[in-house]
Structure 1
Amino acid sequence: MTDFTRRRPQPWPIRLLHWANVPLLVIMAGSGLQILMAYPMMGPQGQPYGLYPFQGAPPPEWTRIGQWLAGGRHWHFAFAWLLVVNGLAYLVYLALSGEWRRRLFQPRRDTRNALGTLAYYLRLRRHAPPQELYNGLQRLAYTGTLLLTLVVVLSGLVLYKPVQLGWLTALFGGYDPARLVHLIGLALLALFTVGHVVMVALHPRSFGEMVTGGRPHA
């Protein structure tokens, strides 16, 4: 088993791939909203989904990248592959380095810690549970985000090639449901980002470690 006792909290590959996500996600979100601008409805034409409260409301101009539909599509599909490559590189590094043990949620190990941490944040518990590099709740959030990103990528492939990837389109229930899933995924990733920034503000040392790597564990 890999010895983590002398490893930095944030090795340089993790830091590089983490910061690469920042411009990639901003461009993906902005260009995706520019594509949405072409038809700011959810559901088949003439049969909008009642569960979507923003039918016909275009995204604010300041959130969009690409200026028009074709421009937004070019930006979106070009940077989508860079985001996928970045994500695959992250997963490969986790697997080969053994970092997945420190970072990914393992139910038998982390469930009790995650519940205890949640109780601590809700003021239902006086002291926080023991924490290593991450606590159980953080591991759950990061692992869940990886799975959410996978769903976003797969639903995006449906929007890109709905006929050629007919089996995947059917898995999502059709083109229009995949489009809704894709937008919900974007909203959840944005929500995670806001929560992530808040947690970093509460624990500024983690920001320094993501810049410098931090000191190796004793």
Structure 2
Amino acid sequence: MSKAAAKTRKGRSVIVHPLVVRITHWVNAFAIVCMVMSGWQIYDASPLLPFVFPPTITLGGWLGGAIAWHLAMMWLLIANGILYLGYGLASRHFKKSFFPLSARGVWSDFRSALHFNLSHTPGVYNAVQKLLYLGVLLLGILAFLSGLAMWKPVQFEWLAAILGSYPSLRWLHFIAMTGIVGFVVIHLALVIIVPRTLPSMITGRVRLDDETGVHHEA
């Protein structure tokens, strides 16, 4: 290989996160934070457990304001989810990113993460990430369905009948919200463990250093 060719190869960058994935990721991040904070304000109006969330981490200022924020973010998440779902199915992003998945792989990567020795290939999810993403998708569906049944119990009477009474719906919604918050905490912890994953979620690219195929965030 000539020196000119080697120099070109060394400077080459590749896309690991398409634009649609990056846009929907950051829109989700914004909407979920707003939904959780407004949800905590709604929770404080009628607590399920013997504690309330401090006003400094809630959104809306009062029950009516919190509900307005919550519903607005719900529609944003729905629109964003339709875009992500359509892209994921059309491009086979889901199949390539989240499968295959095995219990052995999850356990191995989990142990590596605990020892701060989790390897990472840009654009490739490890087994722990795959499990977390699939789990939070299911939690998101549960939060949406339980919230819909509480919001429109007459129009979606059949859904409320499946999921249970209003108190049961509140618990399901709260549990789903707690799981989503847990996902966010773990997701941020993994970013701290492997911080080089963050730049590519902004730029979408990694740089190919040399002929060995080693990548660095662009």
Q: TM-score range by the shorter chain?
A: 0.7 to 0.9
1:39 matches 2:46: yes
1:9 corresponds to: 16
**Residue 13 of structure 1: CA displacement?**
0.8
What 5-or-longer segments of structure 2 have no aligned partner?
1-12, 214-218
**Residue 190 of structure 1: CA displacement?**
0.9
Q: Which moved more, 1:29-38 or 1:142-151?
A: 29-38
1:118 corresponds to: 110
Aligned equivalents of 1:11, 1:177: Cα separation in 2 = 40
2:29 corresponds to: 22
**Residue 179 of structure 1: CA displacement?**
0.7
Aligned equivalents of 2:132, 2:113: Cα separation in 1 = 14
Aligned equivalents of 1:67, 1:157: Cα separation in 2 = 23
8 Å Cα contact 1:113/1:129 also seen in 2: no
Look up the SS of the partner of 2:141 in the other structure. Answer: helix
1:93 corresponds to: 87
**Residue 116 of structure 1: CA displacement?**
2.3
Match of 1:80 among 74, 84, 88: 74
8 Å Cα contact 1:116/1:129 also seen in 2: no
Match of 1:169 among 150, 160, 165: 160
Look up the SS of the partner of 1:215 in the other structure. Answer: strand
What 5-or-longer segments of structure 1 have no aligned partner?
1-5, 43-53
8 Å Cα contact 1:159/1:175 also seen in 2: yes
Aligned equivalents of 1:128, 1:196: Cα separation in 2 = 14
Look up the SS of the partner of 1:150 in the other structure. Answer: helix
Aligned equivalents of 2:90, 2:157: Cα separation in 1 = 34
Change (3 A) 1:128 1:211: closer
1:47 corresponds to: none
**Residue 166 of structure 1: CA displacement?**
1.2
Percent of residue pairs bearing the same amino acid type:
34
**Residue 149 of structure 1: CA displacement?**
0.6
Q: Letter of the aligned partner of 2:188 in structure 1?
A: V
Q: Letter of the aligned partner of 1:154 in structure 2?
A: L
8 Å Cα contact 2:118/2:194 also seen in 1: no
